[in-house]
Amino acid sequence: MKKAFRYILIVLLVAFIIMQFFQPKKNLGILSTGKDLFSQVYVDDSIKLLLETSCFDCHSNHTNYPWYGQISPISIFLNKHVTEGKEKLNFTEWQSYPDKEKISNLVDIYDEVEGGDMPLESYLKIHKDAVLSEHERDLIMSWAEKEGLVLLNKKEE
């Protein structure tokens, strides 16, 4: 029994070491591309800071990785979250979205923040600075609502 346990432990250790050589590609692109949210949409500095702190790691082309993000299988898990987040909303590519999609994204931002679904609970456990107070959630929701109305009015003209 002890030999089997030792053998399994050695195999797992070797597999863990081999995994370290196969890391997913990091999300380390440029934030300010001319197509990003802040390039053409006025965002108050307080809202900008909240979005950067609480949203951008998963919803932009640049993620600030923690030290443990270099270790597989954690790096694979993080990469999956970032990839899924960017597929749903990418602030770096904001200007490339049609107005209808921007409005839909703003509605989603409002709903997700209002419901407490964003930022993700798993993200907040480690990133305490990304926790949004009720006032901060209200600021983001007001901003999303205002920007959505601006886009709706623009569409109607």
- Could you give the CA distance from residue 81 to residue 7 in angstroms, rounded to a whole number? 33
pLDDT tens for residues 49-93?
999 999 999 999 999 998 888 999 999 999 999 999 999 999 999
- What's the one-letter identity of residue 5? F
Q: Is 76 inside a domain boundary? A: yes
- Could you give the CA distance from residue 85 to residue 73 in angstroms, rounded to a whole number? 19
Please give the pLDDT value at position 126. 87
Enclosing domain of residue 81: 25-156
- Could you give the CA distance from residue 130 to residue 132 in angstroms, rounded to a whole number? 6
- Could you give the CA distance from residue 157 to residue 144 in angstroms, rounded to a whole number? 20
Please give the pLDDT value at position 5. 87
Q: Is 64 inside a domain boundary? A: yes
Q: Is 11 inside a domain boundary? A: no
Residue bearing tokens 């443990």:
68
Specify the number of domains making up the chain.
1
pLDDT tens for residues 10-34?
999 898 888 898 899 998 888 787 8
Q: Where are the beta strands (DSSP E) in the chain?
A: none
